[in-house]
Amino acid sequence: MINAIKKELLLRKDELKSDNIKTIYFGGGTPSLLSINEINSIFNVIYNNYKIVEKPEITLEANPDDLTLEKIIQLSKSPINRLSIGIQSFFDDDLKFMNRAHNASEAQSCIENASKYFKNITIDLIYGVPNMSKKKWLENLQRAFNLGVPHISSYALTVEEKTALYSFIKKGKVAPLDENLALEHFNILVAETKKQGFVQYEISNFGKPEYFSKHNTSYWLGEKYLGIGPSAHSFNGVERSWNISNNPKYIKSLNAGELPLEIEKLSLNNKFNEYIMTGLRTIWGVNLNKIKSDFGTSYSEKLLKNIKPFLQKKLLDFNIETQTLTTTKKGKFLSDGIASDLFII
């Protein structure tokens, strides 16, 4: 797999042309399982074949059970300067319910150890878990605040078909997810993070100033990116591509010197809809002047017409001076639904 990833990096080195790489992100699975030598061998290929800015943001996703003190120290000596740790909860019963491999004690000690070697740490927390009281969710957040992490990504629990949770709910072994509970948790999350000096710069992402995720922000702002590895997605400003998800087929293809990807050329409607979807999730919102210049006057006129009911319901706010459309406090939790109603098909 590692050799195949390095081959893909070489085959695609000209795709971003002269663009400088500002962020590198090791994610999509458990890259923390890699040894430090394996990680450094990938870095060697990247740095020898791509133009990297002087101080890039380099993130590694990890689970607490993978991050021993020894591993943290090794990672701190590599080019990696940011850790994304999948905590999910600081309570054992929640972790057991979510089928996580780590326990609450490991979650705590992992962050304590990582904080000695990394300033830039983000953790994931899940809300809307059945039977999770508001008090318990508050305590989850307070533990994160006490540990001093500068960034939190927090998502509502969702149920996907063909998962154990889907089966348990269908059989009545687990209570169905409660949207009202999730909304209560979300409102607590927004209020408490604000008290602690976090900025909600995207619906699910809260960062202290200077600690916003540069990598994820580039997605939301529609910048180009190159995705390497099975299932990885790429975007060059015109086309979107994605690699095959099957590991053996991915490796076989690269061994034959072939790129295992599919390409979709985005229509103007596709690009507009994506801009609406991502823009409404962020503090930067959707800019009408940008829509006029990138998509044409007909798109901006149609959007102005379609937003009227959402402005009346106070789900959206339009700043005439800056020509920027953003979700209100009331509309934040509903942003994806609002965006889909504004799509042009």
Q: Give the architecture (CATH level 2) of 268-342.
A: Orthogonal Bundle (1.10)
- Which stretch of 31-35, 157-161, 177-181, 203-207 has the lowest confidence by average pLDDT? 157-161
Return mean pLDDT, the chain: 93
Per-residue pLDDT tens over the stretch 24-46:
999 977 888 899 999 999 999 99
Quick one: pLDDT at residue 33? 87
Quick one: pLDDT at residue 148? 97
Per-residue pLDDT tens over the stretch 275-313:
999 999 999 999 999 999 999 999 999 999 999 999 999
| Cβ contact 37:2 at 8 Å | no
Where do the CATH 1.10.10.920 domains begin and end in the chain?
A: 268-342
Position 16 confidence tier, pLDDT thresholds 50, 70, 90: confident
The class of domain 20-219 in CATH terms is alpha beta
Q: In the structure encoding, which two tokens stand for residue 123, read together?
A: 């953790």
Where do the CATH 3.30.750.200 domains begin and end in the chain?
A: 20-219
Quick one: pLDDT at residue 53? 95
Q: Average of pLDDT values for 51-63?
A: 96
Enumerate residues 6+ apart whose C-beta is below 8 A from 149. Answer: 111, 115, 121, 122, 123
| Long-range CB pairs of 107-112, under 8 A, 24+ apart, other chains included | 107/64, 108/143, 108/147, 110/64, 110/67, 110/85, 111/64, 111/85, 111/87, 111/147, 111/149, 112/147
Q: Average of pLDDT values for 216-236?
A: 94
Quick one: pLDDT at residue 77? 95
Quick one: pLDDT at residue 130? 84
Per-residue pLDDT tens over the stretch 120-166:
999 999 999 988 899 999 999 999 999 999 999 999 998 777 666 65
